[in-house]
Structure 1
């Protein structure tokens, strides 16, 4: 848009040519202000920060899972607690695969992998095939990573 204004300006006014040539000289003299080394340090720092965030989220998911399984054993039966535990571990596996896919985004791939979507399908197939597992507690267990994400971002000071 700016270039079209300069070209129109140079068609109507003869001094516009000098303005256009002055802008071209000025743009050739400009040097990029991005320091490659400092941007690589920032990327390295953000990747270690991302890894530490992943570890905190996994730890929080394990804590939420432990409390949920204890609650389920106390107020419900043992099979419901085992179903919840199987679902929670499949949710942790899903979260790990998703984090790995997001971590490689931009470095190795340009889109998020869909491989992690097999985990809930395999969970449902396992619940269907194994009679001692129950569907509803397994699905609730699978979704236990979501409250841990919410808790982590509520207690995170820099969020």
Structure 2
């Protein structure tokens, strides 16, 4: 379980860092409103990632729910109905956790390749 908690912490921190890194260029090149939309989506993505981690943690103990999918659907519905939110930046903000997963995967591949070379 220690590896799982380390993975969870790493993904959350990387997603948070990417959110900060991406928000400022969006604000500079587009508008503060678009950056706010992106930020709303990214924060919802962090909540989704945390809920997904809790579901994985309880794997085998009880039935998993579809709460994570529900939070995404609610986010898109609110973005489509509320005039201040725009669907595309909110959606792209929500997907910020995906590059964090790719970064973790690439990092672990290179780290395991380095480790195997050192062992040989």
Normalised-by-shorter TM-score class: 0.7 to 0.9
- CA-based RMSD of the aligned residues comes to 1.4
Which residues of structure 2 form unaligned runs of 5+?
114-120
User: 1:73 and 2:27 equivalent?
Assistant: yes
The runs of at least 4 consecutive aligned structure 1 residues that moved more than 4 Å come to: none
The total of aligned residue pairs comes to 111
Which residues of structure 1 form unaligned runs of 5+?
1-46
* Farther off after superposition, 147-156 or 78-87: 147-156
Hey, which of these two has a bigger chunk of helix by percent?
2
Deviations 1:6-62 (A, max 9, x none): xxxxxxxxxxxxxxxxxxxxxxxxxxxxxxxxxxxxxxxxx1110111000000000
Q: 2:66 aligns with which of 97, 114, 125?
A: 114
TM-score by length of 1: 0.66
The correspondence of residues 1-159 of structure 1 with structure 2, limited to 5 A, is 47-106=1-60, 108-109=61-62, 111-156=63-108, 157-158=111-112
d(CA) in 1 for partners of 2:92, 2:67: 21
* Farther off after superposition, 111-120 or 135-144: 111-120
TM-aligned CA deviation for residue 65 of structure 1:
0.7
